[in-house]
Amino acid sequence: MAKLRAGVLISGRGSNLQALIEAAADPAYPAEIVLVISNRAEAQGLQRAAEAGIPHEVIAEPDRTAFAAATDAALRRHRAELVALAGFMRLLDTGFVKAWRDRMINIHPSLLPSFPGLHPQHQALAAGARFSGCTVHFVRPATDSGPIIAQAVVPVHDDDDEERLAARILAQEHRLYPLALRLYAEGRLRIDGKRVIVAGSKPPEIAALNPAP
């Protein structure tokens, strides 16, 4: 069976890209990364792509519409079927988002719909949240919106700062993103309004408490 062809957009170190690369190295994994695009030439993730033998490009076009056109053309040249945003720190053109509707996913370090946008760890700490985590969702024109595919939860510790909380969340991002991509590639996701129905899945029965009783 042919594997899903995924293009990945990055802006920085590419740790989530690395998690996807490692997952895709398993012959049984149902997706492959066919292209990595960065809007920043200095992005460390480009080196990760190079080391994995994955085609990679820098598209640093400052105009949003021109960037969208060049990125769309590159993805189509490589016959990408899905776009995965992995630490991609640029707002996308609305037309691009619509063109890839239901074929573009993103990972965000909070339990959406709570704390969208920048500095979600700071937002969680400032709000006194007992739990935080990460979310993989389909992309829509509004920032960090769209039907939620999967989430991972981490506790917030009383002595947390942004750095410690971010590190705890990031470890779960590296587990969650390959899972979400697998579910998509296996054809197990169905969008029903604002919800995503995952075929063959069963939610865990464990309830998390913080503080522990």
Q: Which residues are catalytic?
A: 108
Beta carbons within 10 angstroms of residue 24's beta carbon: 22
**Alpha-carbon distance 45 to 12, whole Å?**
6
190 Cβ partners below 8 Å, 6+ apart? 196, 197, 199
Report strand pairing: 4-10 vs 189-192: unpaired
140 Cβ partners below 8 Å, 6+ apart? 97, 101, 146
- Give the pair of three-digit tokens for residue 132: 């935080």
Convert 51-74 to b/e letters by CB count within 10 Å (16 or more is b): ebebebbebeeeeeeebbbbbbeb
8 A C-beta contact, residue 112 and residue 104: no
121 secondary structure, DSSP code: H
**Alpha-carbon distance 179 to 193, whole Å?**
22
**Alpha-carbon distance 10 to 112, whole Å?**
21
